Structure 1
Amino acid sequence: MKKFIPSQIFIEKDALKYKLTHEIIEKFKNNNIPIFEENFKKTFKKLNEQQFFAISKKTLILSVNKNKKLETCKPSADYQFSLVSGCPGICEYCYLQTKHACSPYIKVYVNIDEILDNIQKYIDNNRPKITTFELSSISDPISVEHITGSVKKTIEFFSTQTYGKLRLVTKFTNIDSLLNINHNNNTKIRFSINTDYIINTFEHNTSSLEERIESAYKILSSGYNTGFIIAPIIVYEGWKKDYENLFSYMKRKLEEFKNKEISFELIQFRFTLKSKDIILKRFPKTKLNLNENERLKKWGPYGYYKYVYQKEISNELKKYFYEKIKKYFPNSKIEYFT
């Protein structure tokens, strides 16, 4: 797919102090892309929900991340941090519809040296234990890596760490700049994958399955620890056949790495009433099944009730995926099913 190019760029005042801001401006100064030094939300505050969402997904905001306290990120890692907030992908089910409902735009944090200095303090304070960090909890930083170069710099930072490990996940394929750098086996790159039906129906403006597997091949060839997240797992007519076709296709394309331990993380589709409301406003014709009466109600970690599959369906899914993954990838590791 074509790399993301913003329709407009907004620069927050504090961001003007940082080198990365001016490097990004330089990249786009000859592209006839409007660049504003003003507040994005105030500029577009009169738009309705769909209009604001649509323009946000085409907008790049250069900002400063001042948050020094990192949130935990179980079961993926000990902590999470961000180089970017949001992404140009338009996934109808995205859980950020709830957590970042008012900020669907792509925000790049330009103070990367300060962010990494803060990470260093967390690593040092936890020595001699190894501390793991998730980079993709509220964003897909690979989606704008061709603009920022921040992921490359972060991987190189972690390559020097004895007690720090990095994890990230993506639906995009801007990974060529990461292939010939020293990662020192301290970074794990995972690809979010799903059936063609789910990608084509719900994951708009993201890379195709074929592109993701091709990029996974490159990452494996470069010696990275590599894994796959199947999320969200959605039950629909023909889901078993489609998921088996997915595993069969992956096995053929990645046969060269059959003896390498590749990990899988499995996440079922869930939603909250708040996310349901936002999804229906933004995607009124969505094919997502958002009927909470067919679901099991559970208390979620972010202060909302979430609606998950009934136990019978959940148990069937877990059994099916464990069997198929072991069939096609016998040396793989399933990190969790949730």
Structure 2
Amino acid sequence: MSGSGTMMLETAMETRQSRRLANLLDIGRIYLEPAVHAHARGREILARFPEAELIEVASHWRIPELFGNEGAARDWVRNKRTVLVLGVKKAMTIRPNGRSADYIAPGASNGCALACVYCYVPRRKGFANPITTFVNIGQICAAIERHATKLGPRTEPGQTDPHRWVYDIGENGDASVDDLIGGNVRDQIELFRRLPNAKGSFATKYVNRDLLDHDPKGGMRIRFSMLPHRPAKLLDVRSSPMTERIRAIEDFVRAGWEVHLNFSPVVVYEGWTADYIRLFEELNDTLSPVAKAQAKAEVIFLTHNADLHDVNLHWHPKAEDMLWSPRLQETKRSENGQENLRYRAALKARMVRMFLDLMAEHLPWCPVRYAF
């Protein structure tokens, strides 16, 4: 490509990203730890938002007007659109997982600009959870690389992958959205491109086509979250429409990405099985044989929380008509000690079996890696 052609392409990409960024994010206030200025990524992000009000804070976790402020629930979406938090990641813990990945990598972000009503991250952060971006991405990538190097080659196939160790890089956020803030996700793509024994993975509800320009060369798995259209419109607030996600699967496969389907959360309501059959039919009709041949799925039924239910009633009560089903749910203490609501054990076992039977009938080309 000529120099002028390359410049035109770069300009078009910048225009496209700026337009999308303006629709999803209009950052007017940035809370930041003082150490952010010492990191190149921090300075880069601050330069992208030159008109934002800067407020220094001692810790990205301790921002009283955001976290723990019950009144902030009424400004839920506005905070997600207009507030950004910048911090320095302290703990580089890498935890075993065994479901979505072999390991959970140190997160390069926390929180999200999307407002999916069932998201568990607000349970940890209080009444608002705009994006927190960690600017010491070099240290995060170095921790992953040291861990993968110590593991060595994967000698036996596992549920997560037959050949590589899989690291989930998006446990507490959406990496597709994070890429609109700065270069952290692209740095992680580059990392997994050159690690022969490791693969990065993240689930997303947002179609970021700029990621198509970064061929991961087998080192990245993107898991598009799938919900029937009816619950998606109600619950996946500010996310990409479901048809757009389905159509993007083909494009990402062509661009060198591994693409899996993330049926999460599966929400039970009147007519839910019929809606899922229609979703399966749309996937069948849209995807090519090549996309189908590489696909796998994970199935995760809804876990809800009484405190989150109360928060949602402040800003999106209609969603709780679908999520809050006491006659179907029971309290169960999670691994981190929180009391969550899950579908009653015996009922859930039958529903999981029903869902898998529907998949086997309508998506026989899509193996299920795990379901619970």
Could you tell me the TM-score, scaled by structure 2's length?
0.82
Cα distance in 2 for residues equivalent to 1:330 and 1:152: 34
Deviates more, 1:35-44 or 1:143-152: 35-44
Report the AA paired with residue 263 of structure 2: I
Q: Does 1:98 align with 2:123?
A: yes
Cα distance in 2 for residues equivalent to 1:47 and 1:312: 35
Deviates more, 1:15-24 or 1:290-299: 290-299
C-alpha offsets along residues 120-143 of structure 1, whole Å, 9 cap, x if unaligned? 121122224453210121000211
Give the aligned partner of residue 25 of structure 2. Answer: 5
User: Shift of residue 63 of structure 1?
Assistant: 1.5
Which of 98, 113, 117 matches 2:138? 113
Which of 291, 294, 302 matches 2:336? 302
Which of 72, 75, 88 matches 1:49? 72
Give the aligned partner of residue 36 of structure 1. Answer: 54
User: Shift of residue 212 of structure 1?
Assistant: 0.9
User: Shift of residue 318 of structure 1?
Assistant: 2.1
Distance 1:102 1:117, change over 3 A: farther
Structure 1 contact 49–282 (Cα < 8 Å) conserved:
no
Distance 1:71 1:179, change over 3 A: same
Distance 1:74 1:93, change over 3 A: same
User: Shift of residue 163 of structure 1?
Assistant: 2.3
**Identity rate, percent:** 22
Cα distance in 2 for residues equivalent to 1:69 and 1:139: 17
Structure 2 contact 66–72 (Cα < 8 Å) conserved:
no
Distance 1:305 1:47, change over 3 A: closer
Q: Secondary structure at the match of 1:6?
A: coil
Cα distance in 2 for residues equivalent to 1:97 and 1:288: 19
Aligned runs of 1:4-83 on 2, under 5 Å? 4-8=24-28, 9-29=30-50, 33-39=51-57, 41-42=63-64, 48-51=71-74, 53-58=76-81, 59-80=83-104, 81-83=106-108
Report the AA paired with residue 71 of structure 2: N
Report the AA paired with residue 194 of structure 1: L
Report the AA paired with residue 21 of structure 1: G
Structure 2 contact 108–134 (Cα < 8 Å) conserved:
yes
Cα distance in 2 for residues equivalent to 1:36 and 1:25: 9
User: Shift of residue 55 of structure 1?
Assistant: 4.1
Aligned residues, how many?
334
Cα distance in 2 for residues equivalent to 1:296 and 1:335: 26
Structure 1 contact 89–205 (Cα < 8 Å) conserved:
yes
Cα distance in 2 for residues equivalent to 1:150 and 1:236: 38
User: Shift of residue 226 of structure 1?
Assistant: 1.1
Q: Secondary structure at the match of 2:181?
A: helix
Deviates more, 1:301-310 or 1:156-165: 301-310
Give the aligned partner of residue 126 of structure 1. Answer: 151
C-alpha offsets along residues 144-189 of structure 1, whole Å, 9 cap, x if unaligned? 312213212211111111222211110001132x324342212111
Cα distance in 2 for residues equivalent to 1:282 and 1:99: 18
Q: Secondary structure at the match of 2:321?
A: coil
Structure 1 contact 263–335 (Cα < 8 Å) conserved:
yes
Give the aligned partner of residue 329 of structure 1. Answer: 363
Cα distance in 2 for residues equivalent to 1:319 and 1:17: 52
Structure 1 contact 228–265 (Cα < 8 Å) conserved:
yes
Structure 1 contact 49–281 (Cα < 8 Å) conserved:
no
Give the aligned partner of residue 220 of structure 1. Answer: 253
Q: Secondary structure at the match of 1:260?
A: helix
Q: Secondary structure at the match of 2:364?
A: coil
Aligned runs of 1:144-163 on 2, under 5 Å? 144-163=178-197
Q: Displaced runs of 4+ in structure 1, greater than 4 A?
A: 42-47
Gaps of 5+ in 1: none
Counting helix residues as a fraction of each chain, which structure ranks higher?
A: 2
Deviates more, 1:47-56 or 1:62-71: 47-56
Q: CA RMSD in A?
A: 2.4
Structure 2 contact 226–262 (Cα < 8 Å) conserved:
yes
C-alpha offsets along residues 275-315 of structure 1, whole Å, 9 cap, x if unaligned? 33333344344323424353233332221233222345323
Report the AA paired with residue 27 of structure 1: R
User: Shift of residue 262 of structure 1?
Assistant: 0.6
User: Shift of residue 6 of structure 1?
Assistant: 3.0
Distance 1:6 1:258, change over 3 A: closer
User: Shift of residue 259 of structure 1?
Assistant: 5.0
Cα distance in 1 for residues equivalent to 2:265 and 2:214: 31
